[in-house]
Amino acid sequence: MIERCLHHFEYSDAVTLAEVYYDQVKSDSACVLFARALYLHGSRDQACDLIEKHGYTSAELRYLLSRFLYELKNSQRAMALLRNSNGSDLHSCFKGSDQEPFAHSLLASLMKETGDKRSASKQYHKSVVIAPILWSNVKNYCDLGGDDIRATLHGYDILHDNK
């Protein structure tokens, strides 16, 4: 019913139902649902607080928190959540997850904003390799001077594979 409320723009009801559900089960999936309902209802700060309190060990929660922080103009914290603690690459929790291409894209957007266009291009490239159907990432990669796009669109990471 929560998803139906969200689908039909009944955000207030979705928040109420999601809060009750989350209080009962305290699972990652319930937290995601509650955070999405809060976000769509316009309560972005509350959505961030919820995920911070719950914890963000899953790729989905880490991505959501990063995305919400990005939209709240807290780019530094968003970037820190997306990256591994010891480097500039994507956090290991994203590897193989549904969120991986989107996390690469968000990290690229953050890098582009800070003026690190070379690293941004690499992240867009990685996103395109994983999900070439995300056309905005293909465009952003090309806009930053990316090349070898034909191989990339077929899922080959010629530029970054260490094979």
Residues 95 and 138 in one domain: yes
Range of the structural domain that residue 16 is part of: 1-55
d(CA 159, CA 117): 16
Contact residues for 56 (Cβ-Cβ < 8 A; gap 6+): 62, 64, 65, 81
What angle do the packed helices 135-143 and 117-130 form, to 10 degrees?
150
Domain count across the chain: 2
Residues 92 and 142 in one domain: yes
Residues 36 and 77 in one domain: no
Contact indicator for 58, 92 with CB cutoff of 8 Å: no
Q: Select the more confidently predicted residue: 35 or 159.
A: 35
Residues 79 and 135 in one domain: yes
pTM metric for this prediction: 0.86
Residue 60 falls inside a structural domain = no
Residues 112 and 77 in one domain: yes
DSSP state of 8: T
d(CA 111, CA 120): 5
Q: Select the more confidently predicted residue: 134 or 36.
A: 36
What angle do the packed helices 28-41 and 59-71 form, to 10 degrees?
20
Identify the band that residue 103 occupies on the pLDDT scale cut at 50, 70 and 90. very high
Residues 83 and 161 in one domain: yes
Cα–Cα separations (whole angstroms), residue 35 to 58, 77, 101: 14, 18, 21
Question: Which one of 86-95, 101-110, 113-122, 125-134 scores highest in mean pLDDT?
Answer: 101-110
Q: Select the more confidently predicted residue: 159 or 68.
A: 68
Residue 62 falls inside a structural domain = no
